[in-house]
Amino acid sequence: MRDYFTGMEEQPFRATQVMKWVYHQGVTDFADMTNLSKALRDRLAGNAYSNLPTILSEKVSTDGTRKWLLQVDGDNAIETVFIPEPGRGTLCISSQVGCALNCVFCATGKQGYNRNLSVAEIIGQVWLANKQLGYFDSRKRIITNIVLMGMGEPLLNFDNVVKAVELITDDLGFGLANKRVTLSTAGIVPAIIKLSQFSRISLAVSLHAANDALRDELVPINRSYPIRELLSACRRYSEATRGELITFEYVLLSGVNDSENDARELAGLLRGFPAKVNLIIFNPFPGTGFSRSSMETTDKFRDILVGSGIITITRKTRGDDIDAACGQLVGRVQARARNRQRQDSATGEQQTA
Ligand code: SAH
């Protein structure tokens, strides 16, 4: 932005002023940026624009979770979810329209992939959520944590995601600490290594199986980047962040990956690793062939991990009644690359969320 102003033969500090208007005051109309000269405001109005996703709908769950359906272009819409908890508020943002990875238990994966979101479309979700939650009026932080766990695989949209994260963590942007921003990946190994070279945000990895045979089925990207390589990249990431724990997500699918043997295998895999495990309750969606593990099975699974010295929490499911829970986000995807089989299994209901 400084280069932009210098290029216009303006002072570089104009960038700071505009950043503060946009990210601290929530002002996006140049005409209202009153510490800029009238002439500069007019020049900006003629040369630049701010472009926000359009809110198509806002749903509020009985547990306070809010989900926005945001239109990003004529064909495509994405979802963003705010999850309030005592003492913190987490915003779950999307990084792509749809997703190409096709994890078998995920609603987003079922609808195919269309395109990467731009930096503006990613940061725009954060801006809009802050606006809707009243942050720009009160200047009281309501969103304390951001997770890249919405639609899409963030590490397959690397450059735009990294730039958006910089805006989230910069003091002239939203000023969140790196630790409060979590990127969740299905395991794009080269991108994890690249990220470790300059980013200090928290990393979560969707593991879901403790051996390659099963993970190949559940998370097909495992066929390209098997567990051993994935764990070695995670170790590098943890070392780069001076020993921060990597979160391993594990969705419990009844009769698939939730046996006591599976738990022991997972414990063996992660023993001695800088890891914590997030057990996720499976969230069903129309057309899924999977079902939730019982509470007893879930507790038993957790107890085996905890008994092996692994920090484990069971993630509460939130926003279930508005289809805002993990893996239920569908938005609207005009998929170019969707394959026939997936098209057949996707219902009309899924397409319109
Ligand atoms: N592509 C990234 C981020 C999006 S998914 C990733 O794979 O990590 C966020 C989390 O929700 C992942 O751990 C994902 O595996 C999980 N998830 C997907 N579908 C789910 C479902 N139906 N129920 C519960 N969790 C699900």
What pLDDT digit, counting tens, does each position of 80-112 carry?
A: 999 999 999 999 999 999 999 999 999 999 989
Query: Residue 285 CA: which ligand 1 atom is closest?
Result: 22
pLDDT digits (tens, 9 = 90+) for 53-67: 999 999 999 999 999
Distance 109 CA to ligand 1 centre (A): 9
pLDDT digits (tens, 9 = 90+) for 125-134: 999 999 999 9
Residue 79 a catalytic site member: yes
Residues with CB under 6 A from ligand 1: 103, 105-106, 149, 153, 184-186, 206, 249, 251, 280, 282-283, 326-327
| pTM of this structure | 0.93
Retrieve residue 252's tokens.
């419990």
Q: CA 252, CA 126: separation in Å to the nearest integer?
A: 30
Distance 7 CA to ligand 1 centre (A): 43
Domains of the chain: 1-50 (1.10.150.530), 51-352 (3.20.20.70)
Residue closest by Cα to atom 20 of ligand 1:
327
Q: Does the pLDDT at position 341 exceed 70?
A: no
Given the residues 103, 106, 234, 326, select the one marked as catalytic: 326
Distance 27 CA to ligand 1 centre (A): 34
Helix, strand, coil tally for the chain in percent (to 5): 40, 20, 40
Of 99, 106, 350, best ligand 1 pocket probe by most atoms within 8 Å of the beta carbon: 106
Q: CA 161, CA 163: separation in Å to the nearest integer?
A: 5
